[in-house]
Amino acid sequence: MIPTVEWKNGIVMMLDQTKLPFEIVYQECKDYQTVARGIRELWVRGAPAIGCAAAYGVALEALRPAFASLADFHRSLEAAFAELAHEEAEAQRLAAASGDFWSPWHRVDGWQLNAEAHHDFVFVEGGAEHRVRVRFGGDAPVVSIAGREYHGKSMKTRAVRDGDDWHVLCDGIYRRLSLKPELSDADEEAAGSLTAPMPGRIVKVMAKAGAKVGKGEPLLILEAMKMEHTITAPTDGTVRTIHYGAGEQVLEGAELVTLE
């Protein structure tokens, strides 16, 4: 019997049912985000298996250490709020110079249409990334760091900005954190993978695994909303994996092709 979902050495092994019956492929899920992706992209199917996978995802998050030390948390938190304060001051300066101080385009509260108001930051220190989300909408901002929500006590810190770097002094410990540019993740994602813009059906695959492709070269055709959408290479590269074949249904956000 082939297990659908199992726990191995702290990793959730999920049988990718989109590959059946031609291949038996197990996807390694090392965090709850990958488990959620597997459920969303139909790696696992059926209510019992989905429920088991979701429980494993919760276990992964519960076992994941948040920070090496309290100081790690404090400096990421301080850097996030310092960056927000800097953005607000810069927005107020631009608003005053624009002649329309009350324009909503000068707001820095993370407002988005039909979505929660939030700011996302990624701070880098010694190669390690600290992801911070600050959500607005209540009596006070709510901070999530590395996916975990924190409700901490007040603390006294000092932060000084130097370009994209924040020099943070917290509890007598000095650290320098670099703010990762907002577009860098998007650029990396575009260069490495392509996802379905909406649910649909693959009608034709032009690319082959291992083939070299140029920027703008057609890779496959997706039929959605009674229209055909040509998925093209966002950059020069080599096709590493084609995740779906002609005739297969895909969900919105499903990874179609991986480039390297």
DSSP per residue, 237-260:
EEEEEE---TT-EE-TT-EEEEE-
Q: Are residues 188 and 91 in the same domain?
A: no
> Quick one: pLDDT band at residue 92, thresholds 50, 70, 90?
low
**Domain at 119, CATH number:** 3.30.700
Q: Which of residues 27 and 21 earns the better pLDDT score? A: 27
Domain that holds residue 240: 184-259
> What pLDDT, in 10s, does the model give residues 217-236?
889 998 887 788 888 888 88
**Domain at 213, CATH number:** 2.40.50.100
Structural domain tally of the chain? 3
What residues contact 100, with CB distance under 8 A and at least 6 apart?
106
Would you give the end-to-end CA distance of the chain in angstroms?
35
> Quick one: pLDDT band at residue 73, thresholds 50, 70, 90?
low
Q: Are residues 14 and 46 in the same domain?
A: yes
What's the Cα-to-Cα distance from 116 to each of 40, 42, 84, rounded to whole Å?
21, 27, 17
Among 243, 254, 249, smallest CA distance to 25 is for 243
Peptide bond into 199 cis (omega under 30): no
Q: What is the mean pLDDT of residues 106-135?
A: 70
pLDDT score at 91: 60
What's the Cα-to-Cα distance from 44 to each of 41, 104, 117, rounded to whole Å?
8, 43, 32
Which tokens is 176 given? Answer: 């320098």
Among 253, 199, 194, 191, smallest CA distance to 222 is for 199
> What pLDDT, in 10s, does the model give residues 48-65?
788 778 888 777 765 655
Q: Is the pLDDT of residue 155 over 70?
A: no
Q: What is the mean pLDDT of residues 137-161?
A: 70
Read off the amino acid at residue 29: C
pLDDT score at 154: 64
Q: Is the pLDDT of residue 182 over 60?
A: no
**Domain at 11, CATH number:** 1.20.120.420
> Quick one: pLDDT band at residue 251, thresholds 50, 70, 90?
confident
Q: Are residues 79 and 39 in the same domain?
A: no
